[in-house]
Structure 1
Amino acid sequence: MPTDDFGLPAESWRWTEQTWRGHVEAVRAGRRLVPDRWPGGARVAVALSFDSDHETIPLRDGETSPGRLAQGEYGARTGAPRILDLLGRHSVPATFFMPAVSALIHPEEARAYTRDGHELAVHGWIHERNMLLGRDDERELTARALDSLESLTGRRPVGIRTPSWDFSDSTLDIMLELGFAYDSSLMADDEPYEILAEGRPTGLVEIPVDWIRDDAPYFTMDRYGSVRPHSRPRDVLEIWRDEFDAAYRDGGVFQLTLHPHVIGHRSRLVALRELLDHITGHADVWFATHAQLADAARAVLNGPTTARPVPDAPEQTP
């Protein structure tokens, strides 16, 4: 059977060991960066993030119908204010990854994030597919996004999440060249780690993501495609609650990726509210922006190597 049937390059089975090892080793997970204890003596770190894509998803694909754009507008008009209110009531900081075009369409929203004590980070120019870009175009769009967010808020972002979590052959080099402190697009661990480039340490902290901890796979709807919401919000709440509980037992990180136009609907926001109630019911929880989490991880990178003892988790009262 032709390898194209599996989405593989033609005759990849003919690759030499040097070739397939080269692809595997290009971008790899290095040292796990978990301190003996999180800041404030906390047992677990919780890093909530929101990808404020809004209208850039259809715009990226050249879709300009008012109906499709309205789906994105919902995230800015309704979802984001609800999320900011919920975070404020729980006194929880978060990181908002925002495509620059989205921020330019909704500049007051971008400023509201930083004004309310949250972090604003890079998420591409127009949620472009960087796997389809040449190096020069990818670098130019990333740099333009970085400059645009700084111009809007007066603060230069230190973190990046690639659109759709894609990594081209040039992405890591571009991140290092532009001076980012951390990335949050890869999936090689549950905990932060240092990214290696062809086996060499880069100093770049990775805060890993995963589709399990993302609202889009559960709730996304495409009227003319095969994508349909397939999960009850409370079923997803159970998955995320279990993910947090395991991170709490391990003394690690619970990281979550959400989208205002997805999670911002009423029935879904109930799940997020109940998740926050569950998390804040635990002792020794450190809520951090991704930048703060990256700083704590980098302290491990710059300090001595120590094994992390993880004490037994205390019993939680129902």
Structure 2
Amino acid sequence: MTHDLSPRPLNPAPPAPRFPWPEGKRSALFIGFDVDAETAWIGNRPENVDRMVTTSHGGYDARVGIAKILELLDDLGLKATFFIPGWTAEAHTAACEPIAAAGHEIAHHGYLHKCPDRNRLDEAREEIDRGLAALKARLGVRPVGYRAPSGENFPELLAHLADRGLRYSSSFRDDIRPYRHLLADGRPGPVEIPVNYAFDDWNFGMTSRLDSRPIFGRDAILPLWREEFAMTHDWGGVTTLVLHPQVSGRPMRWAILRDFLAEIAARGDVWIATGRQILEHYESCESRAAD
């Protein structure tokens, strides 16, 4: 493949519109969990399938993490979006079923959590289609939202998402408000609910023998989250969380997340919404603006 390095905005989407948040809220909070389970360890490194201790990081999701996260959300009376790879839905159906039963949104996160690669278009499209089929067969869900496994995307994949009825993405890092993608052929693409990397718990709480990195405690994480949220709120944006049950479902990190969410839930000026709710609000505002 020849790479076009000509100077241009690499994301052709127009600027995010300044649609108001519902009920006069000043900002929004989008609580998203990536239920990767073992796919985080085998999707891009299939040789890890024979390393049971390594994959046990991901096994924590089904054994402990998902249930503890659902307990936390129930205690706080909050609804979240769970991005579930198709492989996870097939391997851990019993652990995933309570997510939908509790009224949370289930969204798409690939099939085997493979990083999308523009040089392997057929494989990237298959990841989408197999994931959709698995979520429908095992959990009875046809998702409207998508988060890119390993956080990557490209024009042909965006078009495939739109063609498969996926109406929003939550992967890009280039804004603080939702916006609509522009596809390469000029069609409108999915709505993007952008991500802030500061709220990805994997950065602070995951390490392993094969990918050693420091891990951080409450005194590092909670002040960072509080300050980043405060300024996002002041700017009228959406605070998008990228959380993982195998990280934030661990005892100390569960407590950090509980305290952070409780602080925001106690406020009266933040709209706490699922991805589908943010999408539907955006579409409603977009429709009114077009009239």
TM-score, normalised on structure 1?
0.84
* Secondary structure, aligned partner of 2:117: helix
| CA apart distance, 1:253 | 1.4
AA matched with 1:176: A
Whether the 8 Å CA contact 1:34–1:252 is kept in 2: the answer is: no
| CA apart distance, 1:68 | 1.3
Which of 133, 143, 152 does residue 138 from structure 2 map onto?
A: 152
AA matched with 1:179: G
Give distance in 2, aligned partners of 1:110 and 1:122.
Answer: 13
Give distance in 2, aligned partners of 1:301 and 1:154.
Answer: 30
* Secondary structure, aligned partner of 1:300: helix
- 1:107 counterpart residue number: 93
Within a 5 Å distance, the mapping from 1:174-253 to structure 2 comes to 174-198=160-184, 200=186, 202-225=188-211, 227-253=212-238
* Secondary structure, aligned partner of 1:145: helix
4+ runs of 1 displaced by more than 4 Å? Answer: none
Give distance in 2, aligned partners of 1:273 and 1:69.
Answer: 26
- In the alignment, is residue 128 of structure 1 matched against residue 111 of structure 2? no
Which of 282, 285, 302 does residue 267 from structure 2 map onto?
A: 282
How many residue pairs were aligned?
288
The one-character-per-residue Cα deviations of 1:89-147 (angstroms, maximum 9, x if unpaired) are 11111000011101111112222111101011110010012116522221122111112
Whether the 8 Å CA contact 1:47–1:288 is kept in 2: the answer is: yes
AA matched with 1:73: G
Q: Any gaps of 5 or more consecutive residues in structure 2?
A: none
- In the alignment, is residue 50 of structure 1 matched against residue 36 of structure 2? no
Within a 5 Å distance, the mapping from 1:156-175 to structure 2 comes to 156-175=142-161
Of stretches 130-139 and 44-53 in structure 1, the one that deviates more from structure 2 is 130-139
- 2:123 counterpart residue number: 137
| CA apart distance, 1:242 | 1.4
- 1:5 counterpart residue number: none
* Secondary structure, aligned partner of 1:32: coil
| CA apart distance, 1:169 | 4.4
Give distance in 2, aligned partners of 1:83 and 1:33.
Answer: 33
Q: Which of 1 and 2 has greater Rg?
A: 1
* Secondary structure, aligned partner of 2:289: coil
Whether the 8 Å CA contact 2:207–2:215 is kept in 1: the answer is: no
Q: Determine what percentage of the aligned residue pairs are the same residue.
A: 32
Give distance in 2, aligned partners of 1:224 and 1:250.
Answer: 39
- In the alignment, is residue 296 of structure 1 matched against residue 269 of structure 2? no
Q: Any gaps of 5 or more consecutive residues in structure 1?
A: 1-8, 306-318
CA RMSD, Structure 1 to Structure 2 (Å): 2.3
| CA apart distance, 1:34 | 4.1
* Secondary structure, aligned partner of 2:13: strand
Whether the 8 Å CA contact 2:37–2:60 is kept in 1: the answer is: yes
With over 3 angstroms needed to count, the CA separation of the structure-2 counterparts of 1:298 and 1:21, relative to structure 1, is farther
The one-character-per-residue Cα deviations of 1:2-43 (angstroms, maximum 9, x if unpaired) are xxxxxxx99x8xx7xxx5246x44x4332414422x233323
Give distance in 2, aligned partners of 1:203 and 1:162.
Answer: 15
| CA apart distance, 1:158 | 0.5
Give distance in 2, aligned partners of 1:206 and 1:270.
Answer: 30
- In the alignment, is residue 35 of structure 1 matched against residue 15 of structure 2? no
With over 3 angstroms needed to count, the CA separation of the structure-2 counterparts of 1:132 and 1:70, relative to structure 1, is farther
- 1:6 counterpart residue number: none
| CA apart distance, 1:173 | 1.5
* Secondary structure, aligned partner of 1:303: helix
The one-character-per-residue Cα deviations of 1:199-241 (angstroms, maximum 9, x if unpaired) are 945142000113211011122213134x313422331111111
| CA apart distance, 1:198 | 4.3
